[in-house]
Amino acid sequence: MEKFFIVKYSGPFAFIKPWTAVRDSETFSQQFLTPSIVEGIEKKLFPELLRESGIKKIARHKLNYCGIDIQQERTWAKGGFQYTKEKDVYKTNLGILKRGVLLNPNLYLAFSQEKDARVAFQQNICLCRNEDILLPVELFTISPEEFDEIQGFELKFTDNKNGFKVGYNRFNNAEEMFGELIVTGNPIREK
């Protein structure tokens, strides 16, 4: 019988950088982790995989949380500063983005190998920004069928025929990524 070794991570908040950044308050892409986010987490946990492409050790994942707090973030234009001779000042284009912060997220990472789960359980992870740290809180073993029953959002990685576009893979020449969003139970917890 196949088993999954699960590491549950939790924290007071987390930020998942959406591929739709500017419109995230409308698209709510926080509810899932893209293939490149999962691959980035895996590379953080297992730095020996930095030179390899693809997800090698994380078999599946689920995410649930207590809510999303939409926050504004001031951004600078990519072009940098411009000097205006008439006014003798440097100017730049500023923008405001609205991005969501997950409140009290739980992330479940499933591993096929116990040794990989034990390595992961000794480390913290970040969901895209270093200040938003999730800590390991539990290590347990369940069947794939029991993992299916954990309440949460899971993006099953697919191709363009079987899923919707979820972004561009920063680890693979900005290749388009696709997935099918699986929602189990009520992934937005009360506590």
Q: Provide the token pair at 94.
A: 């500023």
* Model pLDDT, residue 138: 98
* Mean pLDDT, rounded, for 50-65: 95
46 contacts 57 by C-beta, under 8 angstroms: yes
* Model pLDDT, residue 85: 64
- Domain boundary assignment for the chain: 4-68+103-184
Give the confidence band of 20 by pLDDT, cuts at 50, 70, 90: very low
pLDDT score of 21 more than 50: no
C-alpha Rg value of the chain to the nearest Å = 19
Among 65, 74, 61, which residue's Cα sits nearest to residue 154? 61
